[in-house]
Structure 1
Amino acid sequence: MRVLVINTSYRLAPWADALYACDGRWWDWHNGVQEFAGIKITQDQQASEKYGLRRVVLIDGADIDGRLSLTPGLIGRGGNGGFQAFNLLLQWGARQIGIVLDYCGKRWHGAHPNGNHGQREGTLANWRATFDAVAPYAAALGADVINLAHHSALTAFPKLSVAEAIERWNRVAR
């Protein structure tokens, strides 16, 4: 099993294989997350250069539904880092994907240093609609995506516990 964390979630899984954060100022707030040993990825050119991060390029009008890109190094915008990380997982060939995205508003870790506690409902609704739109394409690629956050407002994927998801994927592997 491989783990990709997004933004401040690296604190919950410091052993993860990779960390994606799209915003340059997030990298600055966390001083490039020097303590994280895994692969660090961003779309922000300045952060990439400043902290030695791997960089991907955001594109509009991506390969699939104008949102997802299957071209390595290019990812669809989706409006947020969670979607961009999801695009990376599909590019990397992940076919059993457990996501922990809530899109309910408040950030689990509290406010960012700039005082931002979360997004407005209109923005969150757009993010959820983007996942709703790409869910069938992810399935067509063979990805079994499970939402592991039971409190999540994201409804594009079935919600299961971690144990239930692993049981499901083990059944498929037999």
Structure 2
Amino acid sequence: MKNACLASFYCSVYSDNLVIPVMKEHNMPKADFVTSIVLVLFGIAVFILSVKMPKMEELGADPYSAPGIVPGFLGGIIAFLGVVLFWRSLRQGGARLELSGEKWAAFFRDNAYRRVLLTSLLGVIYGIGLLGRVPYVLATFVYVLVFVVLFEYRQDISLHDQKKMLFWACIQAVFVSGIIAGVFRYLFLVDLP
């Protein structure tokens, strides 16, 4: 096992082909500062969207059985804990990010962070581009298939030799989309778009 530092923000531990990013202790307040902002924004967005969910009062349902109650509560908790983390990071000097072009370049060159960005991009494409525009089962099938293929594909091996991976990616996509749709429809009695 060997260590290699990327810029001065993260070090990575290499073991065989696995890269594990390891945060340096003195940079934790900076990471907490950025994370807290993301958590507060996410929590507020979840809370606002949960308030906009249908109340079901016009159907005579109990107001406490509205579908937005639990997400709103969780969004509020996430936002509150994000604020707590924000204040703690400020007290520890987390607002001094000391970002430079070299650090940004190192960030985008590291494979682990590229994978995080790719995962985020695929999630946004799935949530905004596919859901609601095409049937749920098809959208989820495409999302899972593309996700598995992108993360399992190896450039050093020909596509012909990766037929097994493509086959299993299709099998996973079929099962995941079918099982999730079935659970929501028959167990939770929720029709997916």
Band of TM-score, shorter chain = under 0.3
- Rg bigger for which structure? 2
Structure number with greater CO (CA < 8 Å, separation at least 6) is 2
TM-score, reference length from structure 2: 0.23
More helix by share: 2
TM-score, reference length from structure 1: 0.25
